Structure 1
Amino acid sequence: MSDNDKRILTPGWSRRRFLRNSATFAAAGVAGGVSGFPFINRLPVRAQGAPLKFWQFYAPGGQVKPQVEWFEKMVADWNATHEQQVELEFIPNKEYINGPKLATAFASGQGPDIFIISPGDFLRYYNGGVLQDLTPYIDEKARADFPESVLATRMVDGKIYGLPMEVEPMAMYYSVKAFEDAGLNENDVPKTWDELLELGKKLTTPERYGLLFQTAPGYYQNFTWYPFLWQGGGEFQGADGKSAFDSPATVQALKLWQDAVNSGAAPRQVLGNGANDSVANLASGYCAIQNVGIWAISQLKNNAKDFPYGVFRLPTPANGKYVTVGGGWAFVANAKGQNPEAAGQFCAWALASTEQGSVDRVATWCTEAKSDMPPRDSALKAREAAFSEGMIGKFAREIHPGTRAEPRVPPEVYKIISDAIQQTMLGGADPQTTATAASQQLDAYLASYSGAPLL
């Protein structure tokens, strides 16, 4: 067993194997073409007037009390004023994000009435014909309150199919104590990839990794890798619609993560819910620097309030430019559900109404229940002080201005990119050879793709 492997604490059936099998389940839903879900019309008959099921991974079983309370209050407020009731259904984070439950539920005609999706998985459900058009329920004034860049990946042909509840840029978090023990301070944060790798090696000890990236395959890993591709000017698709993946920018981004692992500075496996979990990885002392998003501010505040940490923006390659990725979840309604119109109205009422309650709801989510940048201008204005102070203020000033929206891709494109990351980061494959092979696969797929545009 290597020194790296000694620090791996999760035995048994590996998450990587689980996610790989889950991806197989999920991808099966789109194997038949644009329809995506071959049994989508087999919706079982539900009791007349039954509550609309709202699947998500926050409430009522979530571990962060302010987030649970936010969801429960939202649904209680709706139920108090509407005949069509809504009922929360909690799906554990791991199972919801990377497991097969959501995709297989739709494939069997038993999908939820309301659910949340990220841009990365938007095309699976849009191309599958299960997303309700929310445009009729949104006032023009409210629509204008969302910046175009925030809505773009949730729109097709000018129609809105998802309403974002947040914008989540990625950054690097570090342990103040780990820095101090190494004789470092905030002035020593790395600005380049080479400096990041060197610092990661310096901070590595027999008990702790110096640096941590997501290692398990999934939409989240792709999401966190994209900015390293973009920083060198890379893209996975060119303006001509063909693959642009075989490029120096792709090769160097793949090599960065490979070098981090091969040098021993970064682990081959992460703890807790994954590299999106700052408490299990950074605060626990498993790593000294973690690549994670703005939501980690809330995680640390609620579950590791005495842990001192700092944040810095993503370092850049030589001759590259700063850019980070901004993800975030969005409410969507099932067009094949028991009451699609009411489900669509609920999404708009909750997040995209001109009523002050809707604005406050978004602002409260981003500043109190969680820590995010708001998707609405009015919510930003309503909590202007909160977005100018502390760590959120640092994100607002230094990190968020370089944000590019998370891409939306069909499952097949996601899988090709995911395989390339896995093969190089953990499998030891040559980055150039891998980029070339992946680009050829992308070209073969894109040549016959007929769904909504990739963005």
Structure 2
Amino acid sequence: MFSRRSFLSTAALGVVGAAGLAGCSSDGPAALETAPSGHPVQGAALTYDPNHLVNDGEPITLEWWLWDGDEIFGAFAEAYTAIHTNVELKIVKQPWEDYWTKLPLALKDSGNPAIFNIHNSYHTNLFPYLEPYDLDIAQLSEDYTAVDAHVIDGKVYYVDYGLMSGVIYYNTDMWEAAGLTDADIPKTWDQLREVAKKLTISEGENFTQAGFNFNAQFSAFTPGMPYQQGQNLFAEDQITPTFATDAMTDAVAFFQGLYDIDKVGSKDFGTSAGDSFGQGQTAMTYSWTHLGGTLAADFPDLPYATFPTPVPVTGEEPYALDRYNGESTIGISKNADDAAKAVAQDFLTFFLTSEENLKALCLNYHVFPMYGPLAEAPEIAENPQLSSLAENLERYIWPGPMPATIEENATTMWEDILYNGVAPADAIAAAQAAIETDLSSADFVAVEDKYAFYQPSH
């Protein structure tokens, strides 16, 4: 899953005041006697016509809970309430650490907030309080990628507005200094190994510049690599984890070999590959695209670009290039009163069809837009992270709202191998056993079989 950093890349911005959002006095919105008119219909297959009364024009206030992005999400609320001036969308920001405790309690006790942001890693906790979307799923599927993976008993409760996965970041100054050009961008892992050697500067075990560094990226790349060899993370029943496989053994051997055999980096060369890359000590690293937010905030002058994750064999399309996770659209409380739910559903359609605000949202969080009309937007194509994801978008697979145990045990596995002297076979087997134990008490079913190119693992 995404770490919460993928959704925490912007600075804390404070709560957006309700009066500022709704364009009304602090006493709340006033009644609207006539329907708005003259506003353009927005959307593609799914459309939103804003020229109608909401809540019969009567004043209404809805809370919208989130943990980050007050201004970027507030732009949706501001645009909506500028049209429907009888509606107030009051944004309430809760710290991440409190959000997942307070939100289920609030939804259970009062049904408030009527609208709230979702991270799919908390699907199980939130699902009992979710109202299904009241819209045409076929139209939604025409506009949004991978809606099918979110259909539960014929209903949709949230989808993805953006896709995040891994790419290779490289320092363009280091690349040029090593005599490399665009023609040298690796297509395969073996090619990456050779390029990494050219980018490495060291004397014995002492590195000045790592050619490739994956320290602290263990949970990011490890679960995705076996997919390239046709190995799913779950068996055909979509319940049994298949972490300990020949494909995982091969992936571990390759990455361990970069350090132990090729000497292009070291387990001791900084605790974080992302920080080392930002500080100009590492030439290449694998990271999910949220690293773009960290680089913009902490290392704004760093010269870098990205290229897609390499594959095993040149010219052979892998089963899947990598796994991905999605940033989720808003949820609606099923315990809200009928009036609030009706307004929330109306706002939902506005949200899902607001092309410019969706584009800004995806760029802000460095995720590729799942809203089809944005896929070829110039700003997306020019983004150094998202341009690499765009090259083969259909070959990313979503395992589902994956339990944290898989990423956590991938990290433990690598720490044991690199720092504790545990044999790779033993570390992989221990991770499999721990994941099996954790999932035995979890109500998790994968959605790998929703992948367009799904084949059960052999």
TM-score by length of 1: 0.66
The correspondence of residues 70-85 of structure 1 with structure 2, limited to 5 A, is 70-80=72-82, 81=84, 83-85=87-89
Structure 1 residue matching 2:209: 3-state secondary structure? coil
Distance 1:450 1:380, change over 3 A: closer
Counterpart among 227, 231, 236 of residue 234 in structure 1: 231
Q: Once superposed, what is the RMSD of the aligned Cα atoms?
A: 4.1
- Residue 87 of structure 1: CA displacement? 1.0
Confirm whether residue 58 of structure 1 aligns to residue 79 of structure 2. no
Higher Cα Rg, which structure: 2
In 2, the alpha carbon distance for the partners of 1:389 and 1:50 equals: 39
In 2, the alpha carbon distance for the partners of 1:281 and 1:429 equals: 26
Confirm whether residue 163 of structure 1 aligns to residue 159 of structure 2. yes
In 2, the alpha carbon distance for the partners of 1:170 and 1:394 equals: 12
**Contact 2:104-2:125 at 8 Å conserved across structures:** no
The equivalent of 1:329 in structure 2 is 327
Alignment deviations for residues 340-364 of structure 1 (CA, whole Å, 9 cap, x no partner): 73785377245324xxxx2332234
In 1, the alpha carbon distance for the partners of 2:421 and 2:154 equals: 43
Alignment deviations for residues 361-396 of structure 1 (CA, whole Å, 9 cap, x no partner): 2234335x4554221223336x3x445557478436
Structure 2 residue ranges without an equivalent (≥5): 6-59, 202-206, 449-458
TM-score by length of 2: 0.66
**Contact 1:231-1:323 at 8 Å conserved across structures:** yes
In 1, the alpha carbon distance for the partners of 2:79 and 2:231 equals: 46
The correspondence of residues 191-206 of structure 1 with structure 2, limited to 5 A, is 191-205=187-201, 206=207
Alignment deviations for residues 195-216 of structure 1 (CA, whole Å, 9 cap, x no partner): 4345435433434332233616
Structure 1 residue matching 2:329: 3-state secondary structure? strand
Structure 2 residue matching 1:329: 3-state secondary structure? strand
Distance 1:306 1:159, change over 3 A: same
Same amino acid, percent of matched pairs = 17
The equivalent of 2:249 in structure 1 is 251
The equivalent of 2:284 in structure 1 is 289
In 1, the alpha carbon distance for the partners of 2:438 and 2:165 equals: 30
In 1, the alpha carbon distance for the partners of 2:285 and 2:270 equals: 10
The correspondence of residues 393-408 of structure 1 with structure 2, limited to 5 A, is 394-395=387-388, 398-405=391-398, 407-408=400-401
The equivalent of 2:372 in structure 1 is 377
**Contact 1:196-1:315 at 8 Å conserved across structures:** yes
Structure 2 residue matching 1:409: 3-state secondary structure? coil
Distance 1:154 1:83, change over 3 A: same
- Residue 178 of structure 1: CA displacement? 0.8
Distance 1:329 1:421, change over 3 A: farther
Alignment deviations for residues 209-230 of structure 1 (CA, whole Å, 9 cap, x no partner): 32233616xxxx5343332121
- Residue 78 of structure 1: CA displacement? 3.5
Structure 2 residue matching 1:165: 3-state secondary structure? strand
The equivalent of 2:204 in structure 1 is none
User: How many correspondences in the alignment?
Assistant: 373
The correspondence of residues 431-442 of structure 1 with structure 2, limited to 5 A, is 431-442=424-435
Alignment deviations for residues 141-181 of structure 1 (CA, whole Å, 9 cap, x no partner): 641334452x3444422322223221223211211111122
The correspondence of residues 145-156 of structure 1 with structure 2, limited to 5 A, is 145-147=142-144, 149=146, 151-156=147-152
Alignment deviations for residues 86-128 of structure 1 (CA, whole Å, 9 cap, x no partner): 214264xxxx4xxx44334357658984544444x1444356x
The equivalent of 1:213 in structure 2 is 214
Distance 1:314 1:292, change over 3 A: same
In 1, the alpha carbon distance for the partners of 2:182 and 2:228 equals: 23
**Contact 1:332-1:347 at 8 Å conserved across structures:** no
Alignment deviations for residues 217-269 of structure 1 (CA, whole Å, 9 cap, x no partner): xxxx5343332121122222110343322211111223344444554615568
Distance 1:185 1:288, change over 3 A: same
**Contact 2:167-2:389 at 8 Å conserved across structures:** no
Letter in 2 for 1:313: P
The equivalent of 1:35 in structure 2 is none
Alignment deviations for residues 314-357 of structure 1 (CA, whole Å, 9 cap, x no partner): 1233698360333331134364776673785377245324xxxx
The correspondence of residues 28-47 of structure 1 with structure 2, limited to 5 A, is none
In 2, the alpha carbon distance for the partners of 1:270 and 1:110 equals: 43
